Amino acid sequence: MAQLTDTFAALSDETRLALVERLMAEGELPAGVLVANAEISGPAVSRHLKVLREAGVIRQRAEGTRRLYSVRPEALRAISNWTMDHRAFWEAGLDRLGALLAEDKE
């Protein structure tokens, strides 16, 4: 559960979420490309990448002097699984609410 909490915490920041969405859309990218298109400084992007890496959301690999980043699908799969597990709870509650509202109309 701690890993899931770390993942949610890392993705709760708008900048980090945007970085992850970009990596999901474009695949593995070097840090320089991520920095070039960011609206924040290079050091700030690096700090956000570090938070994402430490939370296990992204991975980093070295290629010469470049650092390449990519999304770890298993981290996002954990979020998806958690969401689907809790979906049944919410759907059941909403179904009960719908039934009660329908009864009140009659």
User: What is the third-level CATH fold of 2-105?
Assistant: Arc Repressor Mutant, subunit A (1.10.10)
Residue 8, pLDDT > 80, answer: yes
What are the backbone dihedrals phi and psi of residue 68, each rounded to the nearest 5 degrees, phi first?
A: -105, 140
- Where do the structural domains in the chain lie, given as residue ranges? 2-105
Map tokens 């593995």 to a residue: 28
What length does the chain have?
106
How do residues 56-77 score in pLDDT, each as one tens digit? 999 999 999 999 999 999 988 8
**What's residue 85's pLDDT?**
82
Helix (H) or strand (E) holding 58: strand 58-63
Residue 102, pLDDT > 90, answer: no
How do residues 14-41 score in pLDDT, each as one tens digit? 999 999 999 999 999 999 999 998 889 9
